[in-house]
Structures are given as C-alpha cells and as structure tokens.
Structure 1
Amino acid sequence: MANRVQLNNIDHAALEVNRGWGAELGDAVMACPVFPSEFRQVQSSYPIVLSRIGEEPFYRPFALFGLQQGENLFLDEEGWDALYVPLYMRMQPFLIGLPQGGTDQMEVHIDLDHPRVTRDGGERVFLEQGGQTPFLSEIAGLLGDVHEAEQQVAPFSDMLEEMGLIEPFTLDVELRSGETGRLAGYSTIAEERLTALSAEELGRLQGRGYLQPLFMMVASMNQLGSLVARKDRAA
C-alpha cells in the first residue's frame, strides 16, 4: 500500500527521485491507465484495451506493455524502448491530491515508499533554499494534465457503453519456441457495431470529441502483433 503524503519543502527538503526506467523502479507492469487525450501518441506503440478497476462503474482504458502480469516488454538495458511513455508512468511516484471541502485546488502528493524515491543519486525535488526545482514544476504541470484528462474517462466510457461499442476479446498466443498462452479479461471496440453507427450517432461522438480517440483505439489493436513479436524476442 502506498505511503502517500502531501509534498512539502520542510519534511521533504532532501528528497530526490530516480528518473530512469527499470523493473527495480516499479516499471515491470503489464499495463497502465491511459487517457483519451493521449490516445494518438499511445497507439503508436501500444494496444489500448478496456477494463474495470475494483468498484468503478465504468470501463477504463489501458495501454498494454506485456502479455502476463509483471511483464513490461518495453523495458531494456537502455531504458524504455518506445516512442511515447504514457502520462501515468511518467507521473510516478507523484500523485494527485484534492483537499476535502469540495475545492478543485490540486495538491502534489508523493508515495514515499515508491522505489523511485531516494535521498541519494536522484533528481532533487526542492532547491536548497526551499523553492521548486524545474523538475517539480514539470511534474506539477504533468499532474495538472492528468487531472484534466481524468475528467473525460467516465463520460467516454459511458458513451461507448450506451452505443454498444464495447465487447470482450481474447488473444491466443503461440511463440516460435512453442510456448502458448492466452490474453483474456479485457475488452475492446466492437468494430462491426462501429461501422454500423448512424450519422446521428457519429455526430454525437464527434460533438463530444470522442470520435478521434475511438478510432485511435481501433488502430492501436494492430500493435498486438508487435507485442507478441517483442515477447518472441524476449523468450
């Protein structure tokens, strides 16, 4: 469980963050949440699929990095091997905090138990005199982008469900080594239903700004073959 606290320049004056990539830094994950606003960049490297998290009543989009839990096929000796790294991965170990009382004022929180957090050998969060480093200013801007993007996830999912555009899928995998496996538990866009949408329905999607992200999701499924090829090379 995360050791989550609000960041401040007194308790965390000497805090540093490792900005590299690696399994030892918490990056060995099969998937991470992504947002409709970044689908154009995400689809250039990863399949975008849908799944529910816990008690959330809507589907959440995910970028797939691997075909089994704890596997990130984009990590190598040089770092992260892809044109784009999703916002959710770049914000680690920072988190968005919203104060109680109904205000929308965002706070910067941090998970002190995250493997990126250090006091030796990382990038400083605060200047010696207590001000923000350019790194922290960058993170604050990134968290603001994530906070804004998060507001579109549930409405986007709701409209996809309303129009019957979500369907489960499975992927049977056979590697050159003879190893076999199955990717299951995720959903994707129902392409037959998509091609049957009326002009009015397409107009509704376009009016909400969802049409482009929807087609980016469809295009991203071509990356499943690339993911299997990475798995083959790693086997």
Structure 2
Amino acid sequence: MPNPVLLNNLEHRDLRVITRRGADLGDQVMSAVTFPSEFRDVQACYPIVFRKTVDGLGFEPIALFGFQEGENLFLQGQRWDAPYVPMMIERQPFLIGVSGEELMVNVDLDHPRVSRTEGQEVFKPHGGTTEFLEQANSLLFTIHQGMQSLQGFLSALLEHELLESFVLDVELNDGSQNRLVGFYTINEDRLQGLSGEAIVKLHQANYLQAIYLVLASLSNFRALIDRKNATLHV
C-alpha cells in the first residue's frame, strides 16, 4: 500500500530517488493512466484505451504496455524500450497533494524507488531543492493540469455515446489463443455520424484531436503483439 507523506527538507533531507528502470522498482505494470494533453506523445508508442474506474462509475484513458496484469512488454531489464515514458510512470515516487487550493508534493515512502543510500538527491545539503526535484515539481503540475481537463473530455465522449467495449482476439506464434477484454475504445461509426454542430463543439473544446489520436494509437496493437511474440519460445 502507498504511504504518501508531505515532502519536506527536514525529515527528508537525505532522501534519494532511484531513477533506473526495473521490475523491482514498480515498472512491471500493464498500463498507466494518461490524459488528452499527453495523447500525442503516448500514441506514438502505445495503444490508448479506456477502462472503468475502480468505483465503476466513470472511465479513464490508459496507455497499454501488455496484455495481462503485471506484464510490461516495454521493460527490458533496467531499460524502458520506448522513446517516451508516460508521465504517471515518470513521476514515481512523487504524488500530488492538495491542501485547500494549494498543490503540495507528496512522496510515497514505501515506494521501491525511495532510498537513503542511492539515486538522485531530492534536497541539497543545506535544504534547497535540487534540479531533480524541480523537474518532478514541473511534471506533477503538468499531470495535475492534464487530469483537470480529463473530466470534460470524458463527459463529451459519454454525451455523444462515443465509447464502446471491444474484444481483441490474438493468436500468438506458439498457437495460443488470447483475448483482451474489459476495455473500451471510440465508436468510429458513431463518430462519423455526429452532426456538424457536434463536431464543431468537440473541435472548439480541443477534444476532436484527442479522439483521433486515440484512434491512431490502436495501430500500436500490432507492435505490442510482436513484442509479446518475441517473448515466446517456439
């Protein structure tokens, strides 16, 4: 379980963050939540699909790294084999805290990236913030802004009934049949059938481009299947 606490330069003056990649550092995950302002970078590498939120009341877009829980086909030992790592992965072990209207930086003290002996220093010896922490602050702020805009995008998709569930059946090189279920994507027929007025509204809200980036990202399923096949011994 995460153990987030408010980051401060007294209790955490010797805190370090391990930045290499690895399964032992929390990178062996199937997916990461993303948001429209990140879609352009994400769709260059990963399929973007939607899943229901934990409470079952809404949806969230995710970048897919594998076909089953605990599978990251982009993780190659201590290397992430893609030119772009989604922000929700990159931010770890930091989280956004909110106090009133003020944004705070929290750190998950139980995250495997947190160390006292190796990795990037978070604070300078006399208490000032390091460049590493400044970059983390900037990343968290970008994520916060992206998540703030996400609800409007999802509401627009639901308003126009643009989300549909899909099933992906895959036969791998070893002959095994695999099925990816439980995810949603954009209904292209319904999108094409929208009125001109609806299209204009989506465009003016900067949602139309995000929708097409999601659709473009689906071509990455072929590369993801190739990565899966490369792990098999046939």
Q: TM-score, normalised by structure 1?
A: 0.96
Contact 1:58 1:154 in 2 (8 A): no
Residue 194 (1) aligns with residue 194 (2): no
Residue 209 (1) aligns with residue 206 (2): yes
Equivalent residue for 1:98?
Answer: 98
Take 1:169 and 1:107, find their aligned partners in 2: how far apart are those partners? 38
Pick aligned residue for 2:148 from 146, 151, 154: 151
Contact 1:59 1:154 in 2 (8 A): no
Pick aligned residue for 1:221 from 200, 207, 218: 218
Take 2:101 and 2:226, find their aligned partners in 1: how far apart are those partners? 44
Residue 48 (1) aligns with residue 45 (2): no
Alpha-carbon deviation of 1:52?
A: 1.6
Matches within 5 A, 1:77-88: 77=77, 79-88=79-88
Residue 60 (1) aligns with residue 57 (2): no
Structure 2 counterpart of 1:24, which letter?
A: D
Alpha-carbon deviation of 1:58?
A: 2.4
Structure 2 counterpart of 1:95, which letter?
A: L
Please give the secondary structure, in 1, of the residue aligned with 2:49.
strand
Contact 2:34 2:62 in 1 (8 A): yes
Q: Give the CA RMSD over aligned residues.
A: 1.0
Please give the secondary structure, in 2, of the residue aligned with 1:201.
helix
Take 2:194 and 2:109, find their aligned partners in 1: how far apart are those partners? 48
Unaligned segments of structure 2, at least 5 residues? none
Matches within 5 A, 1:161-172: 161-172=158-169
Identity of aligned residues (%): 45
Take 2:78 and 2:9, find their aligned partners in 1: how far apart are those partners? 33
Alpha-carbon deviation of 1:77?
A: 3.2
Deviations 1:166-188 (A, max 9, x none): 00001111110112211100000
Pick aligned residue for 1:176 from 145, 161, 173: 173
Please give the secondary structure, in 2, of the residue aligned with 1:188.
strand
Alpha-carbon deviation of 1:189?
A: 0.4
Count of aligned residue pairs for this structure pair = 232
Structure 2 counterpart of 1:227, which letter?
A: L
Moved over 4 A (4+): none
Contact 2:23 2:77 in 1 (8 A): no
Deviations 1:116-165 (A, max 9, x none): 00111211000000100000000001000011110111111111011010
Alpha-carbon deviation of 1:56?
A: 5.9
Deviations 1:54-91 (A, max 9, x none): 22632110000000000000011351111211110010
Choose 55-64 or 39-48, whichever is displaced more: 55-64
Matches within 5 A, 1:22-33: 22-33=22-33
Please give the secondary structure, in 2, of the residue aligned with 1:89.
helix
Equivalent residue for 2:34?
Answer: 34
Structure 2 counterpart of 1:82, which letter?
A: A
